[in-house]
Amino acid sequence: MDLTDFIKDFDKTIDSAMSWATDHGGLLFDLVRAALEGFFDLVTSGLLLLPYWAVALVAGAIAARSLGWKAGIATAAGLTFCQMMDLWSETVETMCLVLVSVLLAILIGAPLGILAGYRPRLSQSIDPVLDLIQTLPPYIYLLPSIAFLGYGPATAIAATVIVSVPPVIRLVAHGFRSTPVEFVELGEATGTAPRDAFLKIRLPFALPSIMAGVNQSLMMAFGMVVIAGIVGSGGLGETIYGAVRKLDIALSVNAAIAIVILTIIIDRISQSAATHRRPA
């Protein structure tokens, strides 16, 4: 059987659906774009108003509180080093891209994860979708994003949200699913209302898993945010992309170092939040 025609037809349908969506959904996409960019600009420009040393001090203090004073000093020193490489605004932009994307991923993923945790059936139908999202190469998501939202940070955020949602859904669902059965019974046998059973029994047990989900989501976002340099995300990703095109090896190495510093800081801080909440 010759499938060529069928595939051509299929591709045409997809193409026309895309153009239909851009033609008719223009207003919607403009709104989404404006909202994403507005939020991102707000956070970024807010952070850039502060002198770099203030940000470094605050980040150092947070790290010191959750990981100890050595980590605090290393964090402050790492961020200062980013400034010394003259990559401060790019570093802040990347950090904001990641934080904004993960915040949105949590807003979308947490309710779905909670539902999936309570209803194994729903979980079964969500899982293949999450598998698909996580199997496809991440830069695939730049294509629809750029088609609908155009060149710029909004596209980067949209694509980053897509790749960082699955770990949130999975680990939130896992957290709520794995309440030990005797505690579920405790809730029922004491006549606990569903809302209290959720807040006072299931949530404490789910918290470590939820925080692990946030940590993984952050790491996925870091991976994507660099790739999103291609679509004009701003930040270190775009610096690296530009440096690679000009074969400016020194600059790309500097930007890579800044990304490593930022990733380690955010990974360690979010990881410690996950482990500290584990009930012993």
Q: Which two tokens stand for residue 204?
A: 């404490």
C-alpha to C-alpha distance for 215 and 233, rounded to whole angstroms: 22
Give CA–CA dist 185/171, Å, rounded. Answer: 23
Shortest Cβ 209–another protein spacing (Å): 14
Determine if 275 is a binding residue for another protein (CB under 8 A). no
Do residues 269 and 63 touch, judged by C-beta distance below 8 A?
A: yes
Residue 67 Cα distances to 98, 269, 280, angstroms? 21, 7, 19
Nearer to another protein, 137 or 279 (CB): 279
Per rule CB under 8 A, is residue 183 in the interface with another protein? yes
**Least distance from another protein to the Cβ atom of residue 192, Å:** 4
| # binding residues, another protein (CB under 8 A) | 18
User: Which C-beta is closer to another protein: that of 86 or that of 185?
Assistant: 185
Residue whose entry in the numeric block shows the structure tokens 């203030």:
54
- Residue 280 binding another protein, by CB under 8 A: yes
For the chain, the maximum distance between any two Cα atoms, rounded to a whole number of angstroms, is 68
Closest approach of another protein to the CB of residue 273, in Å:
15
Applying CB under 8 A, which of residues 3, 27, 49, 189 lies at the interface with another protein?
189
Residue found under tokens 């701003």: 234
Q: Given candidates 186, 230, 244, 257, which one binds another protein under the rule CB under 8 A?
A: 186
**Looking at beta carbons only, is 15 or 196 nearer to another protein?**
196
Binding-residue pattern over the window 163 to 182 for another protein, x denoting contact by CB under 8 A: -----------------x-x
Residue range at the interface with another protein (CB under 8 A); choices 23-31, 106-114, 152-160, 194-202: 194-202
**How far apart are the C-alpha atoms of 164 and 113, rounded to whole Å?**
13
Q: What is the DSSP letter of 198?
A: I
203-to-143, 166, 173, 178, 190 alpha-carbon distances in Å: 37, 20, 11, 11, 17
Q: Quote the least distance from Cβ 197 to another protein, whole Å.
A: 8
Task: For Cα atoms 163, 97, 71, give the angle at the middle one, nearest 5 degrees.
Answer: 100
Query: Which of 11, 188 has the CB closer to another protein?
Result: 188
Q: Does 257 bind another protein (CB under 8 A)?
A: no
* Under 8 Å between Cβ of 161 and 104: yes
Task: Check: CB of residue 234 under 8 Å from CB of residue 246.
Answer: no
Q: Is 196 in the site for another protein (CB under 8 A)?
A: yes
Residue 29 in the binding site for another protein (CB under 8 A): no
Is 239 strand, coil or helix? helix
Residues 202-231 binding another protein (CB under 8 A) are: 204
Binding region for another protein (CB under 8 A): 180, 182-183, 185-193, 196, 200-201, 204, 279-280
